Amino acid sequence: MKHRLFIALPIHLEAKEKIVLWQKSHTDLPVRWIAPRNLHITLIPPWYTEDIPEVHKKLLTFPKICSLTLWFYKITVGPNNHSPRLIWIEGKRNNQLNVLKHQLEMILDQKPEKRDFLLTSP
């Protein structure tokens, strides 16, 4: 059986609290909000696999990450203004995050996306 997986970083508690405050001040928007526990930054987009133990084994070889400092500066809609499906926050590009993403793609045998990697979180 195939399973849909993706790799993401959780959002720090302080950022989650700010996002929740913003959501509460915009209850008039006709949207379904993501629960704070599900806020994340997607590094590897969804793919299908039958071998979860193998993915887990590969991830265990990945070095631990101490911390990353990410700066978010804008609330916008995505994937673009012409077909908005998400409200997300955008952040300043971060070389450490780009390297992390590339290393994960290599370990997991995932091809990089053709589009630019943007620092966003739904």
pLDDT in tens, 13-44: 998 999 899 999 998 988 888 899 999 988 99
Q: Structural domain tally of the chain?
A: 1
The predicted-structure confidence for 38-97, as pLDDT tens digits, reads as follows: 999 889 999 999 999 999 999 999 888 778 888 888 888 877 778 777 888 888 888 888
Q: What residue numbers bound the domain in which 108 lies?
A: 3-121
Identify the CATH number of the domain in which residue 70 sits. Answer: 3.90.1140.10
Q: Tell me, what's the pLDDT at 73?
A: 86
The pLDDT of residue 121 is above 60: no
Residues pairing with 87 in the sheet:
77
